[in-house]
Each structure stands twice: as structure tokens, then as C-alpha cells.
């Protein structure tokens, strides 16, 4: 039995007390992977951004909101885990400063300075040693090229490529890459997709 760290859902980056930057991730894929890993007999720590989903049974669940909060939670847990599924759709950027009061409409245009968030999966993979790291890539163009680049640049063992239409969908598919192999999983429901993905990863790794 191994202990898996799984990230899921979106992050929210505050603009002011009532607004934030986020994305369309529902968290369904990450939560389904948690269920599949637990069914396979493993322990799971789930670090989840805001979703409308019920927490997976028998997982240790940590709820976070921002990318920084997700990174801090993952960094605390990673030392106790054997593998990582980085499924969350983490915001690449955040406002350089969140306003303490609601931003008022005073002009026809508003400029907001954004700064980059830390790349969570890359940061964790840098210290993985012999542990397993599986990343996810959502691409709207040149998907395989970008996925393979991320596989190498982020020091991942596997990367799972999907498309924008996967966001919030109940049926989806993945193309999974390792350094030298490619698998097609789905299309099928996300519950079945997660089960088949976990089988592919576990059959082709040392976990």
C-alpha cells in the first residue's frame, strides 16, 4: 500500500473581497482518481481547491483556495507520500496585490498587474527522488508537443493530456505519455477513466 498525494479542482486568486480570478475546473477528475486509488487499496491525501463535490470517502482532505495555499499544503504533505497525482488546475498568475476594498467602476478600462504563481508540480517533482509524479496538461493547441515539453521540463514520470472540453464534463478522454510510451484512455465516464488511468500508471511504475 502506498500513500498518494492528489491535487484537484481550481484555485481562486483574490482581486478584492468579492472577486477573484479562477478557471472552469470542476474537480471531477481529481476526485475520481482519489476514489480509484482508494479502491485499489492505497492511502490518499487530497488537497482540493473550491469545488461543489462531496469529499471522497476515506481520503484525508485538505481544502484550500489560492495557489499559494495549495503549494503550502502540498509541501507539508509531500514528505510523507510515495507518489503525486497533480490534477488541479492551478492558476498560473495572481494579482500582484489584492485590494482590501471592493474595486469600484470609475473608468471604461481597468488594468490589473498579474504576477506568476509558483509551479507546484515542478517544485514538488524537484525533490521526488525515486517517487512517482504524474502531471496533467490541458492544451487547446499543439497538445502533444506541449505535453511532452512539460514532461521533460517539470521532471515528471507521466503526463496526462486533455482538452478544454474536459472541464466540467462527465465523459472525457486522456492521452498519457511517459518518456518512451503513449497510451490512449477513454472516452468514458470520468469514474471509469480514473480507474483505467490508475491501472496504466500502476502497471508501468514501481509504486
In the prediction, which pLDDT does 170 show?
80
pLDDT tens digits along 179-198: 999 999 999 999 999 999 99
206 is an active site residue: no
| Residue 201 reports pLDDT greater than 90 | yes
| Residue 82 reports pLDDT greater than 80 | yes
167 or 199, higher pLDDT = 199
Residues 16-30, mean pLDDT to the nearest whole number:
95
Measured in whole angstroms, how far is the alpha carbon of residue 110 from the centre of its chain? Answer: 30
122 or 108, higher pLDDT = 122
Tell me if 105 is assigned to some domain. no
Task: Specify the number of domains making up the chain.
Answer: 1
What average pLDDT does the chain have? 95
Tell me if 107 is assigned to some domain. no
Catalytic residue among 23, 117, 142, 206: 23
pLDDT tens digits along 148-182: 999 999 999 999 999 777 777 788 999 999 999 99
Tell me if 104 is assigned to some domain. no
Q: What is the CATH number of the domain that holds 48?
A: 3.40.50.10300
Tell me if 185 is assigned to some domain. yes
Tell me if 100 is assigned to some domain. no
Percent of the chain with pLDDT over 70: 100
Please classify residue 54 by burial: count the beta carbons closer than 10 Å to its beta carbon, then call 0-12 exposed, 13-18 middle and 19+ buried.
exposed
pTM of whole model > 0.85? yes
171 or 29, higher pLDDT = 29
| Residue 16 reports pLDDT greater than 90 | yes
Tell me if 144 is assigned to some domain. yes
Tell me if 197 is assigned to some domain. yes
Tell me if 192 is assigned to some domain. yes
In terms of residue numbers, what domain contains 53?
Answer: 3-93+114-203
Amino acid at each position: 500500500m502506498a500513500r498518494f498525494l492528489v491535487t484537484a479542482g481550481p484555485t481562486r486568486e483574490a482581486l478584492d473581497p468579492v472577486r477573484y480570478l479562477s478557471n472552469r475546473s470542476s474537480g471531477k477528475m481529481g476526485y475520481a482518481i482519489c476514489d480509484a486509488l482508494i479502491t485499489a487499496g492505497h492511502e490518499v491525501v487530497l488537497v482540493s481547491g473550491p469545488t461543489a463535490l462531496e469529499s471522497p470517502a476515506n481520503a484525508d482532505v485538505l481544502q484550500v483556495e489560492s495557489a499559494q495555499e495549495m503549494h503550502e499544503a502540498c509541501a507539508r504533505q509531500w514528505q510523507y507520500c510515495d507518489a503525486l497525482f497533480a490534477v488541479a488546475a492551478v492558476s498560473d498568475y495572481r494579482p500582484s496585490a489584492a485590494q482590501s476594498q471592493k474595486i469600484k467602476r470609475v473608468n471604461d478600462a481597468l488594468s490589473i498587474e498579474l504576477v506568476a504563481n509558483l509551479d507546484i508540480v515542478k517544485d514538488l517533482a524537484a525533490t521526488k527522488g525515486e517517487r512517482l509524479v504524474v502531471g496533467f496538461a490541458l492544451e487547446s493547441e499543439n497538445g502533444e508537443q506541449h505535453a511532452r515539453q512539460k514532461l521533460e521540463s517539470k521532471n515528471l514520470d507521466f503526463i496526462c493530456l486533455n482538452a478544454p472540453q474536459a472541464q466540467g464534463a462527465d465523459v472525457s478522454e486522456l492521452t498519457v505519455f511517459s518518456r518512451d510510451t503513449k497510451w490512449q484512455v477513454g472516452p468514458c465516464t470520468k469514474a471509469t477513466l480514473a480507474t483505467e488511468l490508475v491501472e496504466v500508471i500502476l502497471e508501468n511504475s514501481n509504486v
